Amino acid sequence: MGKFIVFEGLDGSGKSSQIELLKKSLTARGEKVHVTHEPTDYETGGYLNRILSGRESKDIHLQAALFLADRIEHATHPEHGIKKYLSEGYTVICDRYYYSSLAYQGADPDCDYEWVKTLNLGCPKLPKPDLCIFLDVNPETCKGRIDAGRDNVELYEQSAVQMSGIRRGFMTVLEDLKNNYGHNIVIIDGGGDIDDISKEILNYV
């Protein structure tokens, strides 16, 4: 069985770069690595992308349910699913997983945190990650990177104030899952030198 590693963090926190560097290091050691992301490229992910881009507006509970559906597809897809790769001995590195659902939807005051938690942690089809790495970067810095990088600003990237609220949500979620559900979670300061951060991540992995 391969190991399942999840990266979490705000948009603009540098997850993609660090995932690429980790993939390189593990591949150089002879490991089989599969990199994947949520929302997915399946139909469920397409629906979510329409909501995230602001083309469709949907109730936050519906968002949580759609992210769950997308995640089940992601885990169980017979050809490209996470479980299939894990069973073949791949290290699976996933850009976002249910920690995001708990922080973005569950921690929203209009939603119900316990419900989103039960949906995700209680779903028998979703593998529990072996490690979750949260890249912690100042929300102002993240917002600046998003604005410099592209024109379309998504639903959860509207302002540094909104993103600070999401970061606080993440902190509560990560503490809850670490302390009460035995999740292996590390919070890494993502504000420093890219190669130093990569070495620190490799150490934990």
Q: Which residues bind ligand TYD (CB under 6 A)?
A: 11, 38-39, 52, 67, 95-96, 100-101, 104-105, 154, 156
- Whichever of 39 and 139 has its CB closer to ligand TYD, that residue is 39
In the chain, which ranges are E strands? 4-9, 33-37, 91-95, 131-136, 185-189
Q: Which two tokens stand for residue 40?
A: 């997915």
Q: What is the DSSP code (8-state) at residue 10?
A: -
114 and 64 Cβ atoms separated by less than 8 Å: no
- The sheet carrying 33-37 orders its strands as 33-37, 91-95, 4-9, 131-136, 185-189
Q: How far is the CB of 137 from ligand TYD (least distance, A)?
A: 13
**Nearest residue relative to ligand TYD (C-beta):** 104
- Whichever of 135 and 201 has its CB closer to ligand TYD, that residue is 135
Q: How far is the CB of 124 from ligand TYD (least distance, A)?
A: 18
Cis peptide before 39 (omega within 30 of 0): yes
Q: How far is the CB of 155 from ligand TYD (least distance, A)?
A: 7
User: Distance between CA 183 and CA 177 in Å, rounded?
Assistant: 6
- Whichever of 85 and 99 has its CB closer to ligand TYD, that residue is 99
What is the number of other CB atoms lying within 10 angstroms of the CB of residue 33? Answer: 19
- Whichever of 38 and 117 has its CB closer to ligand TYD, that residue is 38
- Whichever of 31 and 154 has its CB closer to ligand TYD, that residue is 154
- Whichever of 31 and 172 has its CB closer to ligand TYD, that residue is 172
135 and 9 Cβ atoms separated by less than 8 Å: yes
Q: How far is the CB of 13 from ligand TYD (least distance, A)?
A: 9
Q: How far is the CB of 30 from ligand TYD (least distance, A)?
A: 29
Q: How far is the CB of 44 from ligand TYD (least distance, A)?
A: 11
Q: Which two tokens stand for residue 48?
A: 């979510």
User: Distance between CA 163 and CA 181 in Å, rounded?
Assistant: 26
